[in-house]
Amino acid sequence: MIGGSTAGGAVSRVFQYDVTANRFGELPSMKEARFDHSCGAVKIGQVVTQVVVVSGDSTDAGVSKSIETYDVLHGIWTKKDGALKSPIRLSASVQHGRSFFLVGGRVGGTPSKSVFEYDPEKEELEVSPKLELEMGTSSLVAVPIDNYCEEACEAAEPAPTPAPGSH
């Protein structure tokens, strides 16, 4: 869990769930308290190396244009101010390969058709193809369509028709 809000406003605290111990432990706080932000992971293979927090609202600066990156190995947050042309709020994150996409949400206060891909080398979001409709808030799940289609499509394929005279 990263940031969020309470009755007192935006929160910078970060918690990690330990599956083995079945409990939460506190990690170093972000540099900027924020809520309505988006988060994604950067991986090498199956190992998460960075957690990225994008934009959201802040108690200090209003809607933030910053990106914060948590280095999992060293336990350090790095903040990149002004990393975004427009602030993004309430977008959904979905893992894609070693990085992630942000979809929908609100850009500058209006529902967005934008899809952004986080580039770990540049430490910035790049615009991908747009959606056909505005998605002010959304929830997503990644479905590996290639694997799904292979199995589902094979099960749905009709049996081959024998060639004439092959009885």
More confident call, 154 vs 71: 71
Query: Mean of the pLDDT values across residues 94-118?
Result: 84
Query: Mean of the pLDDT values across residues 86-91?
Result: 82
Cβ proximity of 115 and 131 under 8 Å: yes
Q: Are strands 106-107 and 110-111 parallel, antiparallel or unpaired?
A: antiparallel
pLDDT tens-digit series, residues 100-110: 888 888 877 78
Confidence bin at 156 (pLDDT 50/70/90): low
* Residue boundaries of the structural domains of the chain: 38-156
Cβ proximity of 103 and 140 under 8 Å: yes
pLDDT at 61 over 90: no
- The three state secondary structure string of the chain is CEEEEECCEEEEEEEEEECCCCEEEEECCCCCCEECCEEEEEEECCEEEEEEEECCEECCCEECCCEEEEECCCCEEEEECCCCCCCEECCEEEEECCEEEEECCEECCEECCCEEEEECCCCEEEECCCCCCCCCCCCCCCCCHHHHHHHHHHHHCCCCCCCCCCC
| CATH assignment, 38-156 | 2.120.10.80
Predicted structure pTM score:
0.74
Q: Which pLDDT value is given to residue 34?
A: 87
